């Protein structure tokens, strides 16, 4: 009879420990999932920002390219201060 009570007590303690382990694992999973969604949101925001920066870079590169072509192919340059004439209405 005493052996039966001992086995029952051991199984009960093992069952409680297992249940606590399951609760801890689920809690840990939820915390990690929350962190994952936060990081995915941050990644998406960074991808949007990167797209904006690429667009801005393309715009700046285009105006620099126009300036370069104007100087090299057309021989254009900024006028000197003495060459600027202000026309008033």
- Note the pLDDT tens digit of each residue in 7-49: 999 999 999 999 999 999 999 999 999 999 999 999 999 999 9
Residue 82 lies in a domain: no
Residue 23 lies in a domain: no
Residue numbers of the domain that contains 61: 40-73
Residue 24 lies in a domain: no
> Taking Cα atoms as reference points, which of 61, 38, 60, 57 lies closest to residue 49?
57
pTM of this prediction? Answer: 0.57
Residue 61 lies in a domain: yes
Alpha carbon 10 to its chain's center: 50
Residue 20 lies in a domain: no
Q: Which residues lie closer than 8 Å to 71 by C-beta, 6 or more apart?
A: 77
Residue 56 lies in a domain: yes
For residues 72 and 64, give the distance between their C-alpha atoms in angstroms, rounded to a whole number.
12
**CB of 50 closer than 8 Å to CB of 44:** no
Q: Is the pLDDT of residue 1 over 80?
A: no
For residues 15 and 13, give the distance between their C-alpha atoms in angstroms, rounded to a whole number.
5
Number of domains comprising the chain? 1
């Amino acid at each position: 009879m005493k052996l039966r009570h001992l086995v029952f007590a051991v199984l009960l303690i093992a069952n409680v420990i297992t249940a606590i382990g399951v609760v801890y694992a689920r809690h840990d999973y939820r915390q990690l999932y929350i962190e994952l969604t936060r990081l995915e949101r941050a990644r998406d925001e960074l991808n949007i920002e990167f797209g904006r920066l690429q667009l801005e870079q393309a715009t700046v590169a285009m105006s620099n390219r126009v300036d370069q072509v104007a100087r090299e192919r057309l021989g254009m340059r900024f006028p000197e201060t003495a060459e600027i004439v202000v026309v008033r209405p």
